[in-house]
Amino acid sequence: MLPPFELLEPHSLDQALKMLATSESVPLAGGTNLLPDLRARGEAGGRFISLAALDQLHGIEHSDSRVLMGARTTLSDILHDPLMPTAAPSLVSMAKVFAGSMVRNAATVAGNICYGSPSADVVPPLLSLDAELTLASAAGERTLSLNDFLLDYKKTARRPDELLISVSWAPPTTGTANLFYKLGRRRGDAITVVGVAVTITIEKGNCTKARIALGSVAPTVFRAQEAEEALVGGPLTATTIGTAAQAAAQASRPIDDIRASADYRRHAVHMLVRRLLTEAWQTAGSQHD
């Protein structure tokens, strides 16, 4: 049974930020994390601030150099946005396998990021795209990288008085491949066992930029930077890809749980990083050659 809770419904961002600053309260977006948690706790919940009416948090804007996505964008919005397949291919692949259609209609990007779960599926694609977050509070706005935002298991850099208002990134350039794979125990509504996103830029036959973001294999989603470094500077070969995949597996700090063992997760990281890098090399390479 869902215990009772108080719901504040601000009409503007300013009003919302004021409420957040002055009352002990929590932002409520789609509620697909908050409400199950509240139900599991079983105790009368605190105060929620609904973000439904805040226009500034809705909508996706595309320009040549930047994609700006409102924090209240839902997973379904991502799927319905006609430009997203080029602006963030990995995000679209991810949205297709995120939860099921009911939850996709409610779940938001901000909720996924701010909940800080290691299995948050929105995060690896965005991390692989070097996304930045804009947070607002009554005191003003700040922008920081998603990488810096993620601190530890369910711990982020968000202060309690802050709202995430938007996420932005540079759309992939030509010669860039951006891929995502979710390994789950079933296809719908699965908590990710291993999530992998890679972004690879190939210029003149050499890899100039590599991003490998891993979900569900450490206390937080993280970038396997050693693996990334192993790729930059030359062409991707079976050897460099193998080294990077190995490094990514080694950088993982998974746990044993009911879904899978740590050993298996490490194995899957190895396999999936190798697979996605191989595919990325082929697609990104072919865009130039």
Partner 1 sequence: MNRIESPAASTANLQLRQVGKPLVRTDSPTKVYGTAVYAGDLTMPGMLCAAVLHSDRASALLRHVDTSRAEALAGVHCVLTAADLPPSQGVMTDMPGQTGGLTKNTKQPILAKDRVRFCGEPIALVAAENAAIAEQALRLIDIEYEDLDGIYDPFDALAPGAPIIFGDDNVVASYKVRKGDIEKGFAEADFIVENTFTTQYQEQAFLEPEAALAWVDEHEVLNIRSSTQVVEHYRAVADAIGLPHNRVRLRAEFVGGGFGGKEVMTIEVWLALLALASRRPVQLVQPRERSFLSHGPRHPFTMTHRTGVSGDGKITALQIKLTSDAGAYAKLSPYILLYATVGATGPYRVDNLHIDSVSAATNNLPACAFRGFGTMQANLACEGQMEEIAKLLGMDSMEVRRRNFIHTGDANVTGQIIRSAVWSDQCATQALATLGERPTDTQTTRIGHGVACYQQSYGRIRWMKDSSEAWVGVEMDGTVIVRSAVTDIGAGQSSALAQITGEILGVPMDQVVVYFGDGAVTPLAGTSTASRALYMSGNATKMAASQVRKNLLSCVAGYFGVKIEQLDMCDSQVFIIDDPQRSIALKDCVKLCAAEGVHRHNLAIFRAPTSEGIDPETGQGEVFPDFTYGAHAAQVAVDIETGEVKVLKSIGAHDVGQAINLRAVEGQVEGSALMGQGFALCEELILKQGRLQTGSLSEYLIPTSEDVPEIKAIVLESRSGLGPFGAKGIGEPVYAPVAASIANAVADAIGVHIFELPITPEKVIKALREKESTK
Residue 103 binding target from partner 1, ligand FAD, none, CB below 5 to 8 Å by type: ligand FAD
Considering only CA atoms, give the Rg of the chain: 19
Q: Which residues contact 111 (CB under 8 A, 6 or more apart)?
A: 29, 30, 31, 32, 33, 34
Supply the minimum distance, in Å, between the C-beta of residue 133 and ligand FAD: 9
The DSSP symbol for 57 reads G
Tell me how far, at minimum, the Cβ of 47 lies from ligand FAD, in Å.
11
149 scored as a contact of ligand FAD (CB under 6 A): no
Q: How far is the CB of 100 from partner 1 (least distance, A)?
A: 6
- Taking CB under 6 A as the criterion, the residue among 27, 118, 124, 171 binding ligand FAD is 27
Of these, 17, 29, 202, 227, which contacts ligand FAD (CB under 6 A)? 29
Q: Is 191 in the site for partner 1 (CB under 8 A)?
A: yes
- What length is written for the chain? 289
Asked whether 288 and 209 are in contact (CB, 8 A), the reply is: no
Q: Residue 264: which residues within 8 A CB-CB, separation 6 or more?
A: 193
260 makes contact with partner 1 (CB under 8 A) = yes
Structure tokens at 197: 């996103």
Burial level of 140, CB count in 10 A (0-12/13-18/19+)? exposed
Q: Does 193 bind partner 1 (CB under 8 A)?
A: yes
Please, which residue, 40 or 63, has the CB nearer to ligand FAD?
40
Comparison of 131 and 207: residue with beta carbon closer to ligand FAD: 131
CA dihedral 275, 287, 76, 193 (to 10 degrees): 10
Give residues 19-38 in contact with partner 1 (rule: CB under 8 A): 36
Place of tokens 């779940």: 107
Which one of 36, 85, 160, 234 is in contact with ligand FAD (CB under 6 A)? 36
> Shortest gap between Cβ of 46 and ligand FAD (angstroms)?
11
Residues between 93 and 132 that touch ligand FAD (CB under 6 A): 98-99, 103, 106-108, 110-112, 114-115, 119-121
Q: To the nearest whole angstrom, how small is the minimum distance from the Cβ of residue 104 to partner 1?
A: 11
Could you give the C-alpha distances from 77 to 55, 88, 106, 284, in angstroms and in order?
A: 15, 13, 10, 27
User: Under the criterion CB under 8 A, does residue 185 sit at the interface with partner 1?
Assistant: yes
- CA 154 – CA 267 distance, rounded (Å): 25
How far, rounded to the nearest angstrom, does the alpha carbon of residue 109 sit from its chain's CA centroid?
8
* Shortest Å, Cβ 270 to partner 1: 9
178: Cα separation from own chain's centroid: 14
Note the residues at the interface with ligand FAD (CB under 6 A): 26-34, 36, 51, 71, 98-99, 103, 106-108, 110-112, 114-115, 119-121, 158, 163-164, 189
Note the residues at the interface with partner 1 (CB under 8 A): 1, 3-4, 36, 42, 100, 183, 185-191, 193, 258, 260-261, 264, 267-268, 271-272, 275
